[in-house]
Each structure stands twice: as C-alpha cells, then as structure tokens.
C-alpha cells in the first residue's frame, strides 16, 4: 500500500478465517474467487474446467481455466454462457502443446464464435470474450505485465514474478517482505526489451513470461505456439469487427485490423529487423 499499488487477492477454494477477511477489507482490493466460495464479495469468478451452469447470469467477469481439448469439447457451452455473461475470460492452460491440427480447430471454433457474437451484437447484446473481442477494442499492447507492472506476493511472504512461478518452484522468488523486491534483469520483462513482441500487433496476447521461460528459456522470447494462438485470435477479431460493421457504425473510435500474411511475427522478421 505504501507503493500505491492496487491489490488483487486470489482466494483458495476454502473459506478464509474471519481474521484474514478483516485484514483484507482494510485495503482497497479486488477479489478473484473460485466459484465454489464466491458470494457477493467476488469481483471475478474463476472456474477450473466446465462445471458451471451456462444459463446462469454472471454480472462480473467469469474466468474459465481450461485445456485445449476441453475447450474444443465445450465450445457450445461457452457460446451459450456468452449470452448470459457480461464478460468471459478463457485461459488456455496448455498453449505450449498446440499442434497444427489444434491451430486449425481453434481457428474454426473462433470463427464460429465470431458468427454467434455478431448475431448477439445485432440483437443488442454486447458480450465480451477475451480471445475474440479484446483485440477490437485495443490501440496498443495490453499484455499480462507480470514482472513489470504486476508482482505476486505469495502466502509464504515472498515475491514472485507471477503465481505460476510460485507454484512451479517456491525457490524461484524475487525478494520478500523484509528485504523488498529483487528482480534480476528486470528490463527483460518490459515490452521494449522483447525483440519479437515489440514488432507485433496481436495486442490482446497474454505474452505470458512464464510460458516464454518454460518453452524458450528466455522470459522475453515467446514460443511459436503462443504466437500462432494469439494471431488466430487476432484474425478472428478482425473478421468479427468487419462483420459487425456491415450492420452499421460500430466502435468508430477504433481503426480496422489490417490483413497480414503470417501467424508468427518471427516469420515477418525481414520487415522489422532494421527497426
Ligand atoms: S503473439 Fe507472439 S510476438 Fe505477439 S505479443 Fe504474443 S507472444 Fe509476443
């Protein structure tokens, strides 16, 4: 609080003692809660998988964590849930396992969602689905920010780049409450120091630094899979934006999303390597 940071609490799936809840209430905060314990005090609800009623109306963002196969299997459920929710954020937990056939399937599902969402907009609804609609409403990169604009304080009193670093290896800390923050080479978490990402316009991409390190051993270098998944989303957004605009003025303050001929910005490097 001394650093004037806003605090997001990620809750466990069991109820916290009243004493903890009282302490949390003393600071400005945002509650991210599993569906199993969420009540009126949640600011975002998280479900691991697809065990929720897609016809229930959510007035706060619903975050769905899912593997790719499960996402493909539950595409219809997601489409139905979109009609009842103000916003759904899908977090694909195994992006690094995507293969050619998965890219094709993902593209086909997103194009199908785009048709459904177009119809919803025509009917006066305005659902938001991060993997489809975020890119339409951005003018610049809007990535995760772990290690740069956000930091995680774990239950052990230590700082981590993000919760994934904590869960993977508790020794992988970047400081603690007593000694303060200690991020080595902290410039590497900034977009300016990400040689591929800073030439990219898949602005909705999570640019997951944990996934980068897991797949390429560098926090500022993405894997091919992460880039292709983000570009499939970008291109589905492009299609959706142009389809909705056939029905009338829509988001006039945002420009067109241009057509590109690559899915991985690394393949476009000849056009940016001198910049
Ligand atoms: S698509 Fe690839 S290059 Fe673009 S922001 Fe995402 S990780 Fe970076």
Per the confidence metrics, is the pTM higher than 0.75?
Answer: yes
* The pair of three-digit structure tokens given for residue 236, joined into one six-digit string: 């589905």
Upper half-sphere CA count for residue 244 (Cβ side, 13 Å): 27
- Ligand 1, atom 1: closest residue by C-alpha: 227
- Mean predicted confidence (pLDDT) in 266-270: 90
Report whether residue 222 contacts ligand 1, using a CB cutoff of 6 Å.
yes
Query: For the segment 25-70, what is each residue's pLDDT rounded down to a tens digit?
Result: 988 899 999 998 988 889 999 999 999 999 999 899 999 999 999 9
196 lines ligand 1 (CB under 6 A): yes
CB-based contacts of 124: which residues, under 8 Å, 6+ apart? Answer: none
**For position 211, what pLDDT does the model report?**
97
Beta bridge partners of 65: 48, 91
pLDDT tens across 152-179, in order?
999 999 999 999 999 999 999 999 999 9
Helix (H, G, I), strand (E, B) or coil at 237: helix
Residues 211-236: tens digit of each pLDDT: 999 999 999 999 999 999 999 999 99
Give me ligand 1 centre to Cα 196, in Å.
7
Q: Is the CB of 211 under 6 A from ligand 1?
A: no
Looking at the CA of residue 266, tell me the nearest atom of ligand 1.
3
Two tokens, residue 190: 């900034």
How high is the pLDDT of residue 273? Answer: 59
pLDDT grade for 275, boundaries at 50, 70 and 90: low
Q: Which of 200, 218, 231, 234 to mutate to test the pocket of ligand 1 (most atoms within 8 A of CB)?
A: 200
pLDDT range class, residue 5, cuts 50, 70, 90: confident
Of the candidates 257, 275, 265, the one whose C-alpha atom is nearest the C-alpha of residue 197 is 265
């Amino acid at each position: 609080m001394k650093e004037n940071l806003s605090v997001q609490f990620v809750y466990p799936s069991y109820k916290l003692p009243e004493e903890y809840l009282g302490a949390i209430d003393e600071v400005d905060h945002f509650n991210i809660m599993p569906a199993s314990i969420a009540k009126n005090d949640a600011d975002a609800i998280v479900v691991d998988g697809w065990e929720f009623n897609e016809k229930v109306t959510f007035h706060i963002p619903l975050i769905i964590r899912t593997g790719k196969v499960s996402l493909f299997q539950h595409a219809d459920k997601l489409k139905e849930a979109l009609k009842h929710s103000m916003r759904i954020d899908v977090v694909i937990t195994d992006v690094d396992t995507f293969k050619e056939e998965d890219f094709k399937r993902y593209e086909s599902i997103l194009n199908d969602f785009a048709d459904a969402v177009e119809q919803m907009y025509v009917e006066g609804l305005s659902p938001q689905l991060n993997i489809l609609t975020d890119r339409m409403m951005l003018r610049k990169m809007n990535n995760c920010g772990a290690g740069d604009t956000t930091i995680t304080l774990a239950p052990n009193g230590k700082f981590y780049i993000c919760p994934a670093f904590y869960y993977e290896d508790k020794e992988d800390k970047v400081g603690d409450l007593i000694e303060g923050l200690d991020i080595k080479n902290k410039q590497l978490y900034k977009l300016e120091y990400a040689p591929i990402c800073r030439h990219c316009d898949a602005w909705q991409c999570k640019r997951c630094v944990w996934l980068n390190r897991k797949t390429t051993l560098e926090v500022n270098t993405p894997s091919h899979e992460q880039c292709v998944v983000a570009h499939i989303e970008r291109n589905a957004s492009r299609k959706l934006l142009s389809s909705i605009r056939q029905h009338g003025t829509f988001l006039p303050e945002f420009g067109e999303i241009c057509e590109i001929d690559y899915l991985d910005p690394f393949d476009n490097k000849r056009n940016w390597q001198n910049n």
